[in-house]
Structure 1
Amino acid sequence: MIKLFKNIRRKLLAENRFNKYLLYAIGEIILVMIGILLALQVNNWNTTRLLKSKEQVYLKQIRISLIGDLERIKEVKEFNALKASKIDSTFMMFEKTSNPEKYVPTIVNHMYVMNEFDVFEPNTIAFENMITSENIDLITNMELRNNLSQYYQRNFVNSTQERVKEKTRQFVDDISPKIGNRQLLKQFRLRDSHLPNISEVNIHSDKQVYSNLIIMDLSIDGQNKLLDTTAEEIRRLLDLIDNNLKS
């Protein structure tokens, strides 16, 4: 192509057709400039396409993490429902009988749930990978970028969820020595002891036991409200991500 242009210019000069040569040279320069601009535009298109592709890879990974967070919230709430049912059952048992030989075995059976707790923490790996590689600017939707940053920078093990752990431990520390008795130890360890007889247990009238059960139940309610609010936030993030992936 270059050789062809040179031959045309030589021919025009040889024929002493300078004006046509000048016009041709200008036209050739314009064509070269257009070619350069087109090449730059194509390069920009390719760069934009690659950046968009990279953005979508990160968003798809974050989307998977958020769906996992919703499942995790569901698990925590299911455990909380089970724990709350054991607390209710304990109250009902105290209402029905003051005989420790009847209510102590029930409480002991409930303890495997009532002495546990579960807290929600989001899976931050995908988002942290994007932050570590300094690629958060790939997310061009500012609303989505800001909302993701707010979600992942929040301290989820806050006072609400910390209270669940604290009140559960407080309940266990208080009731464990009060519920201990000779028959219970013999049942689980096959050993005799000098512990009080089961008939001497009187937690059914213990104000501290009642107080701990009530506060533990209230802390579960507070955690559930936090989890519900978080689940709504996650669903909004998923909607923003889905809209971004479609664009």
Structure 2
Amino acid sequence: MIKFFRHIRQSLIMENKTSKYLKYALGEIFLVVIGILIALQINNWNEKRKLKVEEKELIANLSLSFERKLNELENKNAGRTKNLNGINRLREIISNQDSTVTETEMFGFLQDMFIWFAVNEEFSIIDMLYSSGKINLISNDSLKAKLISWPDFMEEMLEEQRVVQDLVVNKLNPLISNYISSANLSNSFEQKMGTTIVESPFPNDFEGLLKDRAFESLIAQKYIYLNTNIEDSKTLIAEAKSILELIDRELEK
């Protein structure tokens, strides 16, 4: 009987020890799990902080890029508008057979005929946003939506720009060169810059140019395409300003 009670006592002692060990083991596991969860939370917090810093840097770069693009768009539109005024003046001269226009004035009008006021088609920061997937760093949904839409607005403007370029390079400039020496046009510009010039031996035939029906037709076409180009650029300018406003709000946070 005594042996039986001793056996019972030893069993209870062993069970008590096992229970203590089990509680200790469970406590250790609990602490390890809690430690892992805390570490994961800290890691997630650090990752979010890094992404936020990267987003801020990206938005700051977007601000600089869109400021430059906005200035470029506005400057090109100013040049296009000046060219439209010059085309109108040339059409008046042709229509009224105005012979009072001076050679200097004609050179001024014609120099702009050789230009298509091209906005740079490359916009590296937008290309980078798509190629790298960093567009997903932008947390502001309104800003992200406008950045996604930007290439479509840009392409619409560029289509007209390419039409103007083709007209100028392949049609208008060769026609003008039949009547007016490109060297003389260049000299007119160089004189304004105070540069030494070499006179061309070929005379300018302003009268012949102004009486050429193809010239009148081509400058009228350029007027139409430039006007469309201006309107498309105005849409881009408005979009660029809207994007910059959203960027400024993000940078102020």
TM-score greater than 0.5 by the shorter chain = yes
* Unaligned segments of structure 1, at least 5 residues: 1-12
Deviates more, 1:120-129 or 1:216-225: 120-129
Q: Does 1:171 align with 2:167?
A: no
**Residue deviations 1:152-200, cap 9 Å, x none?**
47536743111222333322322332457xx99xx97363x6x7x969x
State whether residues 120 and 156 of structure 1, in contact with CA within 8 Å, keep that contact through their aligned partners in structure 2.
no
Please name the residue that 1:112 is paired with. 111
Select 2:215's aligned residue among 209, 234, 244.
209
CA apart distance, 1:147: 3.4
State whether residues 167 and 219 of structure 1, in contact with CA within 8 Å, keep that contact through their aligned partners in structure 2.
no
Distance 1:107 1:34 in 2: 84
Give the residue type in structure 2 aligned to 1:125: S
Q: How does 1:214-229 map to 2 (within 5 A)?
A: 214-229=220-235
Q: How does 1:1-40 map to 2 (within 5 A)?
A: 26-27=26-27, 29-40=29-40
* Unaligned segments of structure 2, at least 5 residues: 1-12, 189-197
CA apart distance, 1:235: 2.4
In structure 2, the CA distance between the partners of 1:175 and 1:59, relative to structure 1 (3 Å rule), is same
In structure 2, the CA distance between the partners of 1:212 and 1:104, relative to structure 1 (3 Å rule), is farther
Select 2:199's aligned residue among 189, 210, 220.
189
Count of residues paired in the alignment: 223
In structure 2, the CA distance between the partners of 1:147 and 1:224, relative to structure 1 (3 Å rule), is same
Distance 2:220 2:147 in 1: 36
Q: How does 1:227-242 map to 2 (within 5 A)?
A: 227-242=233-248
Please name the residue that 1:135 is paired with. 134
Paired residue secondary structure (1:189)? coil
Distance 1:157 1:220 in 2: 10
Please name the residue that 1:84 is paired with. 84
Give the residue type in structure 1 aligned to 2:177: S
State whether residues 73 and 120 of structure 1, in contact with CA within 8 Å, keep that contact through their aligned partners in structure 2.
yes
Q: Share of identical aligned residues, percent?
A: 24
**Residue deviations 1:82-109, cap 9 Å, x none?**
212222332343455443xx44613233
Q: Does 1:155 align with 2:161?
A: no
Deviates more, 1:60-69 or 1:160-169: 160-169
In structure 2, the CA distance between the partners of 1:66 and 1:98, relative to structure 1 (3 Å rule), is closer
State whether residues 98 and 204 of structure 1, in contact with CA within 8 Å, keep that contact through their aligned partners in structure 2.
no
Q: Does 1:72 align with 2:76?
A: no
State whether residues 58 and 130 of structure 1, in contact with CA within 8 Å, keep that contact through their aligned partners in structure 2.
no
State whether residues 104 and 179 of structure 1, in contact with CA within 8 Å, keep that contact through their aligned partners in structure 2.
no
Paired residue secondary structure (1:155)? helix
Distance 1:223 1:58 in 2: 30
Distance 1:35 1:130 in 2: 37
Distance 1:244 1:125 in 2: 21
In structure 2, the CA distance between the partners of 1:109 and 1:51, relative to structure 1 (3 Å rule), is closer
In structure 2, the CA distance between the partners of 1:160 and 1:29, relative to structure 1 (3 Å rule), is same
Please name the residue that 2:144 is paired with. 145
Higher relative contact order (CA 8 A, sep 6+): 2
CA apart distance, 1:52: 1.6
State whether residues 179 and 205 of structure 2, in contact with CA within 8 Å, keep that contact through their aligned partners in structure 1.
no
In structure 2, the CA distance between the partners of 1:84 and 1:19, relative to structure 1 (3 Å rule), is same
